[in-house]
Amino acid sequence: MNINDLNKEELEDWKKACKISAQALAYGKLLIKKGNNLLDVTKKTDEKIIRLGGKIAFPSQVSMNQIAAHFCPTKNNNPVFDNQIVKLDVGAHINGFIGDNACTVDLSGENNELVKASREALNNAIKIIKPGITLEEIGRTIQETIMNFGFSPVRNLSGHGLGKFEVHTKPTVPNYNNGDETEIKKGDIFAIEPFATNGHGIVIETSNPTVFSFVQKKPVRDMTTRQILKEIGNYKGLPFAKWWLEEKFSLFRVNLALRQLENLGIIRGYPPLAERDNGLVSQAEHTILIEEKAIVLTKF
C-alpha cells in the first residue's frame, strides 16, 4: 500500500501498529530462554500486543532450526527451548493496518554468523532503498550480503506488501536477484524479510498446519463446526492459530472442525516451512515506509 491511499488518521494507525509490533517483538525475544516452552512465549507475546492497545495481525510464530516459518505450538505439541536457533515473527494491527517484524535468537551460541547474515542483509537493504530503486536491486543486496557470510538466501521466501487486513500483498520483495525491474515508489509501505540458511536455500511445506486463515463462506451442516466457524469470523479474515481455538473448545472438536473446514475450502492451512536439506535458518524483518529513504516503522 502507499500512504497516498491513506488519510492522516489511517497513517497514524499504521505507525502505532508498527510501534506496538516492535515493542511486542522485543518483549517476546526476552522470553526465549532455555527451559521455557513455545506456547508460553506465543501467548505472552500476543497478550503484550493487546496490553499495548493493539490487536493481533497474525499469531506470534516461533519457528526453530530448519523450520523457517509458520510454526505455532499447540497444547499437544509444545516444545521446550534448549539449543535451537529460534525465529520469532510478530505482527499487530490497528483498525486493520499492520506492523510486521521478526528476529532470530541463537540459544546454542554456535550460529552467531548465521543470525548476523539475515540481520545485516536486512540492514543493507534498508540502506540502499529509495524511490526508484528496483526490486531486483534489493534482492541482489540481500543475496550478496548473505553469501558474503558464507550462507544462502532462502529464495522462495520473500518480503511483501501490507494492506488493510492483508498480511501479504504486492510487492513481493525478493531475497535474491530475481530480475524484477519493478521500481519502488515514494510512499510505499512494505516488509523486508531476509532468510539465511546453511542449507540449499529452498523451503518446502511439511504437514499438520497450526496456522490457518478464512477463505470463503460456504454452508456448514455440523453444529460444532458452525460454532467454531463463528469464532473464526471474529478474526476478520486474518491468520489465526489452532491454539486460540483450543482455549475455547475441546481438542477433539477443534480437530474435527478444522478438518471439515479445510476439506470444504472454507479455510486454508499454512504448514510449517522447512529448509529442503534441513539446513538451519535465520530471519530478520522490518516494516518500512519509503520517503526520500527508507524509514523503519518497526524500529525499537
Give the residue numbers marked as catalytic: 89, 100, 160, 168, 193, 285
| Residue 135 grid coordinates | 526490486
What residues does 102 pair with on adjacent strands?
Answer: 89, 285
Name, in order, each residue with C-beta under 8 angstroms of 198's C-beta and a sequence gap of 6 or more: 114, 151, 152, 279, 280
Name the residue among 166, 164, 199 with its Cα closest to residue 66: 199
Check: CB of residue 68 under 8 Å from CB of residue 203.
yes
Residue tagged 521500481 (cell numbers)? 183
Q: What are the distances in angstroms from CA 86 to CA 58, 66, 188, 297?
A: 18, 10, 30, 23
d(CA 114, CA 149): 8
d(CA 181, CA 186): 16
Q: What are the distances in angstroms from CA 168 to CA 47, 155, 213, 254?
A: 23, 17, 12, 26
